[in-house]
Chain A
Amino acid sequence: MEESLKELFNFSGDPYTHLAEWKEGSGKKVIGLTPMYLPEELIHAGGMLPVEMWSSNEPITVGHAHVTPYYCGLTRSIVDDLLKGKLDFIDGILTYETCIQARTIMLIVEKNCNIPFMESIFLPNQMTNPLTRPYLIESLEILKARLEEFAGHEITEESLRESIVIYNRNRGLMRKIYDLRRRRPGLINVKEMVPIVHSSMLMLKEDHNAALEKLVIDLEKRPHEIDGRPKVILVGSLCTAPSTEILKLFDDSGVVVVDDDLYTGSRYFVNDAVEDGDPIEALADRFLARNPPCATKVDSEMNWSDYIINMMNESGAQGIITLIQKNCPPHMCYSPDVMRKLSEANIPELVLEVEHEVVSLEQMRTRLQAFKETLGGV
Chain B
Amino acid sequence: MEEIKINRLETTKKIGPMINQYWEKLRQAPAQGKKTAWCAGPLLWMTKAMDMPTHEMPAYAAWAGGRHGAPELLEAAENDGFLPESCSYHRVHMGLLANVRDGVPIREDMQLPIPDIMFTAPLCPEMAHLADSVYRRFGVPVVSMHCPTPYREADIERHTDWMERELREVIVPALEEVCGRPFDNERLREVLIQLKEAALLRNECWEFFKLKPSPWTLWDYIVSMGPFVILAGEPGGVEYYKELKAELEQRVEQGIPALTQEKYRVYWDALCMYGWFGVIARKLASLGINAICGRYPWELFPRPWLIDTEGDPIRAMAELIGEIRRVYAGELYPQIVAELVEEYDIDGLIMFSFRTCKNWSMGQQDVVMEIERRYGIPGILLDADGIDPRYYSDAQIDTRFLALAEMMEGRKKLRQRD
Using a CB–CB cutoff of 8 Å, the interface residues on chain A facing chain B are 65-68, 70-71, 97-101, 103-104, 106-108, 110-112, 120, 122, 124-126, 128-132, 135, 295-296, 298-301, 324, 326-327, 329-330, 332-337, 339-340, 353
Contact = CB atoms under 8 A, between A and B. Distances in A.
Contacts, number: 141
Given A120-B151, A298-B120, A327 B145 contact: no
Given A111-B366, A111-B370, A126 B85 contact: no
A101 B363 CA distance: 10
B129 A330 contact: yes
Nearest to A301: B135
Given A111-B370, A298-B120, A329-B125, 4 more contacts: A68-B383, A97-B148, A333-B86, A340-B80
A68 B94 contact: no
A332 B356 CA distance: 11
A65 to B, nearest CB: 6
B398 interface: no
Contacts of B355: 70
Given A100-B149, A100-B358, A68 B353 contact: yes
A107 B359 CA distance: 13
B83 A324 contact: yes
A300 B131 contact: yes
B129 A101 contact: no
Given A122-B155, A332-B85, A353-B83, A129 B166 contact: yes
Interface of B: 80-83, 85-87, 90, 94, 120, 122, 124-126, 128-129, 131-133, 135-136, 142, 144-146, 148-149, 151-152, 155, 159, 162, 165-166, 169-170, 330-331, 333-334, 353, 355-356, 358-359, 361-366, 369-370, 381, 383
27 contacts: A66-B366, A70-B85, A98-B125, A100-B362, A103-B362, A106-B151, A108-B363, A111-B366, A122-B149, A122-B155, A124-B162, A126-B145, A130-B169, A131-B162, A131-B165, A324-B83, A329-B87, A329-B124, A330-B125, A333-B82, A333-B90, A333-B126, A333-B129, A333-B133, A334-B129, A337-B133, A340-B80
B143 to A, nearest CB: 8
Contacts of B125: 98-100, 295-296, 329-330, 333
Nearest to A71: B358
A327 B366 contact: no
B358 A329 contact: yes
A122 B133 contact: no
Nearest to B86: A332
Contacts of B159: 122
A130 B170 contact: yes
B296 to A, nearest CB: 15
B362 A298 contact: no
Contacts of A329: 86-87, 124-126, 129, 358
